[in-house]
Amino acid sequence: MKQPRLVRPQLANFIEWLKKLDPIAVYDALEKGETVKTFYDREVFSPYRWGAVGARGLLKSSKRLRQRADQAFNIKVARLVLRFENQEVYDLLRQFDPDETYLNNNINDFKKILGLVEEST
């Protein structure tokens, strides 16, 4: 499915982030139960946080963009990227998260950060 030009940079960032995941950091996060949102909330002055603010504003301005971005950020894309671009993390997740709950939680947190889904309070 072809994504709108405004969604592509966010999807590219998501893919790059998956490629660069450190297996040891992923193992530690699995052990502690931390997700993307945990790190996002902790790093207040991170450039990633400022980039997410701009992306969130852009995605909130268009219902169509939000829907397309919501479709693009999914477990299938994450699994494929990890399988072919970051084999160590893929193997680690297959061993310690066979039902993909942790991976799904991280994707949902990523969507919450971008404002694609509502945060439950």
Instruction: Tell me the pTM.
Output: 0.80
**pLDDT digits 0-9 by tens, 8-47:** 777 787 888 889 889 999 999 999 999 888 888 877 776 6
Q: Is residue 32 part of a domain?
A: yes
**pLDDT digits 0-9 by tens, 90-105:** 999 999 999 999 999 9
* Cα→Cα distances 107→15, 37, 54, 97, Å: 12, 10, 19, 14
- Strand, coil or helix: what is 110? helix
Q: Is residue 119 part of a domain?
A: no
Q: Is residue 118 part of a domain?
A: no
Q: Which residues form the domain of 54?
A: 8-113
Domain count, the chain: 1
Q: Is residue 71 part of a domain?
A: yes
Side-chain-side CA neighbours of residue 67 (13 Å): 4
